[in-house]
Chains A and B, each alone.
Chain A
Amino acid sequence: MNFDKELDARGLNCPLPILRTKKALAEMTSAQVLKVVATDPGSVKDMQAFAKQTGNELVSSAETGGEYTFFMKKK
């Protein structure tokens, strides 16, 4: 999937992946896509909750080998 920016949140724990995602999105323009890679299993549910509450679109969410990859489209 195409993305405009990538955020490495590996090794970070709650709430840092969400805070860094928010910060990264703030520097982007509407409809741009942010890729986030995290290792915190709690980030799966948190990313969904973040998207739902902020209006940004969680385009996809996948896990491979203990790493979680998210694509978030900015509102």
Chain B
Amino acid sequence: METKKLAIIATKGTLDWAYPPFILASTGAALGYEVEVFFTFYGLQLLRKGDLAGLKVSPLGNPGMPMKMPFGPKWFKGINWNIPNAVQSLVPFYENVATSLMKMTIKNNGVASIPELRTLCLEADCKFIACQMTVELFGFDHSQFIDGIEYGGAATFFEFAGESDICLFI
């Protein structure tokens, strides 16, 4: 049987949206797929060196996001803190607090961290391509990104995606 191929375009650079590309890429690899992920625009943040502490989650203007506390008794954890956008936007470091709480929730639920998932993807030979155009557009330098990735453009993506069995834009 010919190896199946999974092609993903990762365009988001927040903590929550970092999950789908890495979860699907690592799982695809575990299932025997050949995987290629093309990181463009804000998705480039997912290829930054280090622990990716810069990835945050913003509840502002995100009505679908439950705001629950990861600690305390059960009744307290169950409360959904419905904080108006106007308040969220005025509170200093609101995103940092929300991100810390989200990271606690992630840990409490046995969900892998993003750096962990990224490492698992690389260990499983998922191929990562950074969009050279957006690297330049955002004033990044190759030295800011992890080793072992390639740089290319839209045509590079099509070369692999054109023969893929699953192709996703995230």
Contact between B109 and A13 (Cβ–Cβ < 8 Å)? Answer: yes
Contact partner of A19 (CB less than 8 A), chosen from B27, B32, B110, B111, is B27
Contact between B31 and A54 (Cβ–Cβ < 8 Å)? Answer: yes
Is the C-beta of B23 less than 8 angstroms from some C-beta in chain A? yes
CB of A13 to closest CB in B, whole Å = 4
Contact between B23 and A40 (Cβ–Cβ < 8 Å)? Answer: no
17 additional contacts (CB under 8 A) given A12-B110, A19-B124, A39-B110: A12-B112, A13-B109, A13-B110, A13-B112, A15-B23, A15-B112, A16-B110, A16-B111, A16-B112, A21-B30, A22-B30, A50-B30, A50-B31, A53-B31, A53-B32, A54-B31, A54-B32
CB of A58 to closest CB in B, whole Å = 14
From residue 14 to 47 of chain B, which have CB atoms closer than 8 A to chain A?
23, 26-27, 30-32
CA–CA, A21 to B124, complex, Å? 13
Contact between A19 and B109 (Cβ–Cβ < 8 Å)? Answer: no
From residue 31 to 51 of chain A, which have CB atoms closer than 8 A to chain B?
39-40, 50
User: In the assembled complex, which residues on chain B have CB atoms less than 8 Å from the CB atom of A54?
Assistant: 31-32
**Chain B, interface residues (CB within 8 Å), range:** 10 to 19
User: In the assembled complex, which residues on chain A have CB atoms less than 8 Å from the CB atom of B124?
Assistant: 19
**Chain A, interface residues (CB within 8 Å), range:** 10 to 19
From residue 40 to 87 of chain B, which have CB atoms closer than 8 A to chain A?
none
CB of B170 to closest CB in A, whole Å = 15
Contact between B23 and A14 (Cβ–Cβ < 8 Å)? Answer: yes
Q: List 20 A-B contacts (CB under 8 A).
A: A11-B110, A12-B112, A13-B109, A13-B112, A14-B23, A14-B111, A15-B27, A16-B110, A16-B111, A19-B27, A19-B30, A19-B120, A19-B124, A21-B30, A39-B110, A40-B110, A53-B31, A53-B32, A54-B31, A54-B32
CA–CA, A12 to B108, complex, Å? 10
* Proximity bits, A50-69, B CB within 8 Å = 1, else 0: 10011000000000000000
